[in-house]
C-alpha cells in the first residue's frame, strides 16, 4: 500500500493515511455516531477557521478539515448541533469547592475527567440553553449553544457513567435562568409606513449605531419619541417595540434589559 505519496483520488476514496493517525481515527468514529467534530491544538483552541462552527459529522468534510487544520485534540460542538450540553467544572477557578457542596444533587450522567483534573458532566441539550462562564459559581461553566468541549476520552482519560445521558436538573437551570424562546410577533405594515413618514425612522439607526456606555440612554430617549408617535397615531406600540428591539439587538444590548427600557420609554413618551 502506498504512503502519503499516493494519488489525491486515492486519498479521497481510501482514507488511508488519516486513519493511521489516532486523532483522525477517533474523530471519524465520533462523527460516525453523529457528533459534529473538529480539531484543536494542545492549548484547546480550534485549529480551523471558524472554530466550532466548522465542526462536521460528514466523512468527506472531516477529511478535508484534517488535511487543512489537523490537531492533537478533538473538539465537539455543544448545544443543538450535537444534542449534548456540558457542565464544566474547572478546579483552577474554584469549581471543585462548588462540586463538593452539590455533587450529591447532580444526577448520574456521562462524565469526562478533564486534563486539569476537572469534570465535564454531559447532559441532553436543553432548548435555548447557551454557554455561560461562572454564572452558577466561580469555576462552574456551561457549554451549550455557541460553544464546544474537548473530547478528553480520546486522550485516554477515563469516562464515568459512559452510557448515561441525563436531562439537566431543574435546580441548575433555575440558577442560570434559562429563558424560553419568545414567540415571534407580527406588525402592521401600514403602521410601519406611517412611522417612516413621520421622520422618526432615523431614531432606529441612532439606536442601532449607539456606542457602548450610551446604548441604554439612547434607547430610552428613542423609545420616548416612539411613545409620542404612538400617541399621535403614527405607529402601534407593537410595531414600534419590534423596531426598537431589532435596533437594540444590532448595538448588542441584552434583549431582556432592552425590553424593559423600551416599555418604560414608550410609556413615558405616550403619557408626556
**Tens digits of residue pLDDT in 136-192:** 999 999 999 999 999 999 999 989 999 999 999 999 998 887 544 444 444 445 545
83-93: pLDDT as tens digits: 999 999 998 88
More confident residue, 106 or 239: 106
| 21: helix, strand or coil | coil
Residue 168: per-residue pLDDT: 96
Which helix (H) or strand (E) is 246 found in, with range? Answer: helix 237-250
- Write the pLDDT tens digit of every residue in 224-233: 888 888 887 7
Q: Are 139 and 94 in contact (CB under 8 A)?
A: yes
| Confidence band for 113, pLDDT divided at 50, 70 and 90 | very high
For residues 124 and 108, what is the distance between their CA atoms, to the nearest angstrom?
12
Predicted confidence at residue 198, as pLDDT, reads 52
Strand partners, 112: 120, 159
- What does pTM read for this prediction? 0.60
In this prediction, residue 114 has a pLDDT band, given cuts at 50, 70 and 90, of very high
User: pLDDT tier at 207 (50, 70, 90 boundaries)?
Assistant: confident
Name the DSSP letter for residue 210.
P
Q: What is the DSSP letter of 118?
A: -
Mean pLDDT estimate for the chain:
83
Pairing of strands 159-160, 111-113: antiparallel
Amino acid at each position: 500500500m502506498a504512503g502519503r505519496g499516493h494519488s489525491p483520488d486515492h486519498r479521497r476514496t481510501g482514507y488511508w493515511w488519516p486513519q493511521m493517525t489516532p486523532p483522525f481515527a477517533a474523530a471519524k468514529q465520533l462523527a460516525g455516531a453523529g457528533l459534529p467534530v473538529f480539531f484543536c491544538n494542545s492549548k484547546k483552541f480550534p485549529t480551523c477557521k471558524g472554530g466550532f462552527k466548522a465542526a462536521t459529522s460528514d466523512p468527506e468534510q472531516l477529511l478535508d478539515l484534517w488535511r487543512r487544520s489537523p490537531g492533537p485534540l478533538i473538539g465537539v460542538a455543544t448545544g443543538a448541533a450535537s444534542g449534548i450540553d456540558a457542565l464544566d467544572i474547572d478546579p483552577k477557578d474554584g469549581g471543585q469547592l462548588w462540586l463538593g457542596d452539590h455533587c450529591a444533587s447532580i444526577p448520574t450522567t456521562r462524565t469526562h475527567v478533564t486534563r486539569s483534573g476537572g469534570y465535564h458532566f454531559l447532559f441532553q441539550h436543553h432548548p435555548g440553553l447557551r454557554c455561560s462562564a461562572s454564572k452558577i459559581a466561580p469555576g462552574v461553566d456551561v457549554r451549550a449553544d455557541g460553544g464546544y468541549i474537548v473530547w478528553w476520552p480520546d486522550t485516554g482519560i477515563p469516562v464515568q457513567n459512559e452510557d448515561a445521558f441525563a436531562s439537566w436538573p431543574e435546580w441548575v437551570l433555575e440558577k442560570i435562568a434559562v429563558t424560553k424562546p419568545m414567540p415571534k410577533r407580527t406588525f402592521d405594515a401600514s403602521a410601519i409606513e406611517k412611522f417612516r413618514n413621520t421622520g422618526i425612522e432615523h431614531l432606529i439607526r441612532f439606536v442601532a449605531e449607539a456606542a457602548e456606555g450610551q446604548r441604554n440612554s439612547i434607547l430610552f430617549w428613542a423609545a420616548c419619541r416612539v411613545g409620542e408617535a404612538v400617541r399621535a397615531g403614527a405607529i402601534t406600540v407593537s410595531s414600534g417595540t419590534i423596531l426598537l428591539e431589532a435596533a437594540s439587538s444590532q448595538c448588542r444590548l441584552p434583549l431582556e434589559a432592552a425590553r424593559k427600557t423600551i416599555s418604560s420609554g414608550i410609556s413615558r413618551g405616550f403619557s408626556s
